[in-house]
Structure 1
Amino acid sequence: MAMLFYLASTGFIAMPANAEEDPEQKLDEVIVEADREKEVQPGGFIYSDARNGILGNTNVMDIPFSQIGYTKKTIETFGDPSQPLNTILVNNPSIRTSSSSPRYTDFSLRGINMNGNHMYLNGIPNLFAQFLSPPAHVIESIEVMSGPNTVLNGSTTSVNGTNGVDAPAGIISITTKKATDQPINQYTQTFSGRGSLGEYIDVGRRFGKDKEWGIRVNAGNLDGDLSLHGAEKEERTLFINLDHRDEKSKTNLFAGHFDLRTDGGQRWFGVNNASTSLVDAPDSQKSYDFDGMTKYMHGYLMTLNHEQKMNNTWNLFFNAGMTNRSGSKYDTDSGSLSLNGNTGAISSSLIQMKEANKNVYFQTGIKGEIYTGAVKNNLSLAIDRSWTKNYRTSASLSGSKLVGSLLDGIVVQGVLPQSGPAALINEETSVGITLADTLEYGKMTTLIAVQRRDGKFDAYNASTGAKTESNNKLSTSPTYAISYKPVENISVYASHSEGYTRARVADSSYANEGELFEPAKNKQNEMGVKYQNAGVLTTLSFFKLNQENFFDVTPSTGKKRLTRDGENTYKGIELNVNGKITDKWNAMGGILYLDAQREKTANGLLDGYHVNGVAKWSGVLALEYEADKKTSIIGRAVYSGSAYVTDNKAQVPSVVTFDLGIKHRTAFSGTPVTLSAMCYNAADKDYWIARGGSNTIGLSMPRTLMLSATFDI
């Protein structure tokens, strides 16, 4: 309550002048205003339009690949501040969580592992990491771009997977909250897990002539026990969004500070590749933490977006962002516990690691319209630059390790090591120029885009500071697409995109430390159809993409080796359905079929093998029943098929999990209040979680209950 009293005393929160006003009318005003700002599909779960990179906002029917924008309603319904954003992202059938622990943000998109590195904030890349993602309470919308569109979103550095090199199957684009025309005074309290208590302040105002200026303040404080016994999470955040709008321009500045700490919560296991089977998942209440196991990160970030109207057809735009963060952790040398899948035995070395990251990004460009006869050209030209420095130092001690089993847990042998300050390990610069033209003629639209990218990557020895590797890559990556609308509510499309990964250097956890792997080209193709009718939007897409195959070779003794062998090919069919199916029922979900195989391996030895961690079938269905204007009940089923994790030998079994929730709007003493409850993993299933392209697996978290109360003051 401390934040509430502080903001009230400083004048940020204005108490209502008339406590007798109808609270339901106030709620209706807020909803109507939100709808004016951005159109929402019937049912309220997704938006009708989405940000299409440098092309700007576009109706989803006109975007020639799969793209879904999830609304504030979806975020508030499925989000839990004590868990990763994955609880929201899995509403997309192409996304499956790779970890249930807040120690990691990992998830897979169309079979390819991704994490916070792939999250854009207000159009800016490279602001987050594997342990860091935007807090849900600052987010207005989340767009899942699961098609070939990365060229349209600018030149970036290492937003390509956990290791910085995997070509993404898409990106996650997040937009922060802005001030609305109606004043916002919200205070939210949450409870989740065994004793994780949170309080959040959301205050917004518009002022000046025609309300041209807006300010939105979001502050959060979370502290307490997770649903896993002995695991705790602390998170303190303060973010401010300042925007300005007039007839000729619009500007948005978002900035803030974060302080995040997780004690325990280890749910990640590396399965020895020699394992021919996988023991059953243990009781998810079982802890595999040790005293002192912690991950900590703090820092600040900023984004700036500006658009200037030159005339009726041409606009200038500028986007920039930066982050500066540092942290430390006591963990295992690979971040996961080494598991013998046949016996359940566990053994891992211990490390302390300190790390830091500095990243700066800017983009400037112009977009406008030109008519060539009956053809309308929507032109965009952008130049951008991204540069980043990564710092890391780790320490280990001979004889300091973890030993145990899935049945008995783990114990520490030896003492915890102490690391020195973080030192520079690599720096990367990416400069790109992107030209795009969308040609509209009758019922047909054609997109042609090309990006010229100059990427430079340098690796350094953390101990000596000497440069160990350097790689420069000048590449050209095209994107082209075509869509046709025979009638207004049907769109047929096809698209193709290419892009390059960055170079990769084996780090100190590998026996071949310092070995450089050159960048590789990746291609994505997609075709599909979109159909909108009676309040329901349906998208059916067929896609194929390829990716270089990196994997770890783990010997019976000694360090693992990093190896690249051939490529992985992903062929799939994805169906998404979202909307209002009857007056009282809303639906969201879909199905993914994915055939992921290895190709072009050395001597064809592993050709035709399944890509580790990728299931053939995935699906999700969320149903909401609106009993009346005040009360709604929601249920969600998430299915993940079985997946190989050790070269066509050991398999993670298939699993279905269920989430159940209820929301009720009421009023206390004239103050509107929204009460919510959500139970994740309601059946309390114990199960393994596959991780795309990896022989590592996650262990489920136990049943988690989340309660919240939001007061519109």
Structure 2
Amino acid sequence: MRKSSAALAAALLLTPLWGQRHACAEDIPEYTLAPVDVRGERAQVLPGGFQSDSGAVGMLGRQNVMKEPFDQTNYTEKTITRFADPTNNFVSIMLTNPSVRNGSIVTHSHFFVHGVYTHGSYILINGVPNLLGQYSTPTFFADQIELTTSPNMGLNGSRASYASGNQGNASPATINFRTKAAGAVPVTRYTQAVSGRGALTEQLDVGWRFGKGDAWGARLNILRTKGEISIPGVDRDEYGYTLNLDRRGRSGSSNLFVGTYYLNLDGGGRWFSLGPNVTSLPKVPDHYNNYDFDGQYKWEKIYMAAFNHEQKLGGAWRAFLNAGYSDHRFHWSLGSGYAGWTIKNDAGDFDTRIYTDYQDWKTYYAQLGLRGDLKAGALIHHVSLAFDKSWFDARGPQSSLSFPTDRGGGNIYEPFDRRVSHSTAPHPAKVQKEREYIRSYSLNDNIEIGKFNVLLGIQHHDAKVTAGAGQRMLSDSAVCPTVGFNYTPAENIAVYASHTEGFTRPSVVGNQYVNRGTILPATKLKQNEIGLKYKTETSLFTFSAFRITQAQNIAISIAPGRERFIGDGQVRYMGFSASYTGQIGEKWNAVGGIEYVNSHQMKTDRGIFEGASAYGTPKWNGVLALEYRPDKQWSILGRMVFTGKANTVNTNKTKMFDVPSNTVFDLGVGYRTQWNRVPVTLNLMCYNLFDRNYWYGSRTGLMLSQPRTVTFSAAFDL
């Protein structure tokens, strides 16, 4: 029996025994999900407890989901806690939304929204961008995760487009982490968890208010994880410290969030590219195999700070300031330059060439704005005006080091013998690399006319980029409009339509093309969306239909061996998404939905896959999570995540491969009790319950499934 199976059996036996020994049913307090008090604003938790009814909408401030012309989902701390797979917690949480599909392994936070690729570096913290990176996205300090499935830059200001994997694409979603803040009731919670093959996690969450009238608040969160995850031989070493300070006054309010986060993964490579000699999709190997060489690692360290201030100016007008700073350090020694290997034939053999590299960068952000109301007859104008600027400054190696391992090769159907691999080489010298300066001016008017809301917005966006010290500066600008319409014939029904856009930086053509040195303009991501929202006393239904146009840079052949690189490519995505959250019975809660995406590559790279589906984008996705609560103490939670058939492409983009669909089940149980009059919440969760082996497609290759992962936690409210 594998260790994960043994841990599951033991935890199932111990959980009820703990409750029987230390508590009586009549002594156990009832835990209810009260409204969340966030810096003076109240977000009401929807029935079922998985989502709340409002979230941040950029410079418009907090908005009720029934009043905004977008598809927005606001995940509560309950969702964050219950669905956070400890090996890839952020992406695991986001899979509760049918519009989100996994696109990462344990070393990354990559995912798809409406079929379009994005990752964690585009996440905002309290409305401030550029604080997190693309590799791992911590959530231990988040009280709410707010997902808007549209680019929506016009409402959120500029953000650096660094480290996007392919800098020619904007993010298809706006994601904001609302940090934990001190509430009216003091919090002292200690949580201990064990997961995988012995990884131990400890968390401390302390919050209190102080000062005259409890004007000041402090919330401290500490995270520590160390041990082996569910992949044999892969160790996770992680810590994080964050502090949130806020002040509420009659004339204004302020919030300061500061923190540091460190993660080191010794191994975890599950990413495979397909070489030009592979003729058919390889059979799925055992996902308990370890493909890491001796000395493989990937570590990151982030220092981050976000400051928000809002000042009353008189009447209905307020000034606001948002500012942020981050210092990122990412170092790695990995295979194939990413996190895995290139399969070179149908037998599953791969070369073991190692890349050692690093990225160090700093970001700065500042936004100053004005928000207020104007009345003109029957019209109420909710106006916001803002100016912001993002700075990005990166340092890295002059060139990456690349070399074969001592072993020279491996096979996906055999575990890698790490003892006969290699030792990591030293990193090359650090030099000045990219610099990016982006600024924007934004004006938005949310016009209220009885049951109608009309949102009109415009953003002028300037980007300046240089690829290294002494190289010329690339400049480009664009206008990103935002248009939205929302009609509420009744308080519980809303019909909406919107147009949003995202913008990225310009680029320069490389030396391998005949037009080398040419500056290509920044590309745009455009989305049109129509939708319906229906709310009852127990449920919220949402339906949206969307059309996304993603511009791309492509190569075209002009003669044998001669190619031109131009900004004329395009991928189109059309589809619909339907979701639900709420209570479906007296003891039953549910959250989930389905999505259909019909994607087409238009004017493709070298014209090879004209009309084909976008790489890694399935037509169907679906998720359903059910919670059964037989009484006030017990909670049984299950989730099913379905990913439809997709495709991927080989390394030289000459052949496509179909990747079969997969369905993964998660199952957990929670129990609330007391121990020496201390309230205790016990949670047992098993991810990939049936331990299914499967491939899932990325944009350029295959990723191997995560083995069954069992986590058992105990939270003590002291």
TM superposition score normalised by structure 1: 0.90
Q: Within 2, Cα distance between the matches of 1:587 and 1:64?
A: 24
Q: Within 1, Cα distance between the matches of 2:405 and 2:581?
A: 52
Q: Which AA in structure 1 matches 2:413?
A: L
Say if 1:566 and 1:508 are closer, same or farther in 2 by CA, change over 3 A: closer
Q: Secondary structure at the match of 1:214?
A: strand
1:453 aligns with 2:465: no
8 Å CA contact 1:65–1:148 kept in 2: the answer is no
Partner residue, 1:635: 638
1:59 aligns with 2:64: yes
Among 616, 619, 627, the alignment partner of 2:619 is 616
8 Å CA contact 2:148–2:174 kept in 1: the answer is yes
Q: Which AA in structure 2 matches 1:120?
A: L
Partner residue, 1:659: 666
Partner residue, 1:440: 448
8 Å CA contact 1:145–1:172 kept in 2: the answer is yes
Say if 1:506 and 1:602 are closer, same or farther in 2 by CA, change over 3 A: closer
Q: Within 2, Cα distance between the matches of 1:510 and 1:20?
A: 75
Q: Secondary structure at the match of 2:473?
A: strand
> In the TM superposition, what whole-angstrom CA distance separates every residue of 1:512-561 from its partner, at most 9, and x where no partner exists?
998864312332111111111241111111101111346899xxxxxx99
Segments of structure 2 that go 5 or more residues without pairing to the other structure are 1-22, 557-562
> In the TM superposition, what whole-angstrom CA distance separates every residue of 1:554-581 from its partner, at most 9, and x where no partner exists?
xxxxxx9999762111111111111111
Partner residue, 2:685: 678
1:39 aligns with 2:44: yes
Partner residue, 1:9: none
Q: Within 1, Cα distance between the matches of 2:685 and 2:312?
A: 45
1:259 aligns with 2:262: yes
Say if 1:206 and 1:686 are closer, same or farther in 2 by CA, change over 3 A: same
8 Å CA contact 2:169–2:523 kept in 1: the answer is no
8 Å CA contact 2:151–2:525 kept in 1: the answer is no
Q: Within 1, Cα distance between the matches of 2:148 and 2:96?
A: 13
1:396 aligns with 2:404: no
Q: Which AA in structure 1 matches 2:710?
A: L
> In the TM superposition, what whole-angstrom CA distance separates every residue of 1:467-524 from its partner, at most 9, and x where no partner exists?
2x53101211111111111222111111112333212458999999988643123321
Q: Within 2, Cα distance between the matches of 1:511 and 1:413?
A: 41
Q: Within 1, Cα distance between the matches of 2:293 and 2:202?
A: 29
Q: How does 1:145-544 map to 2 (within 5 A)?
A: 145-158=148-161, 161-272=164-275, 275-335=278-338, 336-340=340-344, 342-393=346-397, 394-397=399-402, 399-400=404-405, 403-410=409-416, 416-460=424-468, 465-467=469-471, 469-504=472-507, 517-544=520-547
Q: Within 1, Cα distance between the matches of 2:606 and 2:357?
A: 39
> In the TM superposition, what whole-angstrom CA distance separates every residue of 1:67-118 from its partner, at most 9, and x where no partner exists?
10000010111113332311100000011111241x1111111111111112
8 Å CA contact 1:359–1:387 kept in 2: the answer is yes
Say if 1:274 and 1:563 are closer, same or farther in 2 by CA, change over 3 A: farther
8 Å CA contact 1:84–1:100 kept in 2: the answer is no
Deviation (angstroms), 1:256: 1.2
Partner residue, 2:7: none
Q: Which AA in structure 1 matches 2:284?
A: A
Say if 1:326 and 1:506 are closer, same or farther in 2 by CA, change over 3 A: farther
Q: Within 1, Cα distance between the matches of 2:714 and 2:511?
A: 47
Say if 1:696 and 1:397 are closer, same or farther in 2 by CA, change over 3 A: closer
Q: Within 1, Cα distance between the matches of 2:514 and 2:334?
A: 19
Segments of structure 1 that go 5 or more residues without pairing to the other structure are 1-18, 554-559
Q: Secondary structure at the match of 2:430?
A: coil
Deviation (angstroms), 1:601: 3.1
> In the TM superposition, what whole-angstrom CA distance separates every residue of 1:170-214 from its partner, at most 9, and x where no partner exists?
121111100111111110001000010011111111011111100
Partner residue, 2:17: none
Partner residue, 1:546: 549
Among 598, 602, 606, the alignment partner of 1:599 is 602
Q: Secondary structure at the match of 2:93?
A: helix
8 Å CA contact 1:20–1:670 kept in 2: the answer is no
1:690 aligns with 2:684: no
Say if 1:68 and 1:100 are closer, same or farther in 2 by CA, change over 3 A: same
Among 109, 123, 127, the alignment partner of 2:131 is 127
Say if 1:680 and 1:155 are closer, same or farther in 2 by CA, change over 3 A: same
Say if 1:565 and 1:641 are closer, same or farther in 2 by CA, change over 3 A: farther
Residue identity (%):
36
Q: How does 1:66-145 map to 2 (within 5 A)?
A: 66-101=71-106, 103-133=107-137, 135-145=138-148
Question: Which is worse superposed, 185-194 or 344-353?
Answer: 344-353
> In the TM superposition, what whole-angstrom CA distance separates every residue of 1:216-243 from its partner, at most 9, and x where no partner exists?
1111111000000000101111111100
Say if 1:100 and 1:661 are closer, same or farther in 2 by CA, change over 3 A: farther
Aligned pair count reads 680
8 Å CA contact 2:593–2:623 kept in 1: the answer is yes
Q: Secondary structure at the match of 1:74?
A: helix
Deviation (angstroms), 1:132: 3.1
Partner residue, 1:10: none
TM superposition score normalised by structure 2: 0.90
Deviation (angstroms), 1:623: 0.4
Q: Which AA in structure 2 matches 1:364?
A: L
Q: Secondary structure at the match of 1:117?
A: helix
Q: Within 1, Cα distance between the matches of 2:688 and 2:240?
A: 28
Q: Within 2, Cα distance between the matches of 1:665 and 1:20?
A: 11
Say if 1:359 and 1:289 are closer, same or farther in 2 by CA, change over 3 A: same
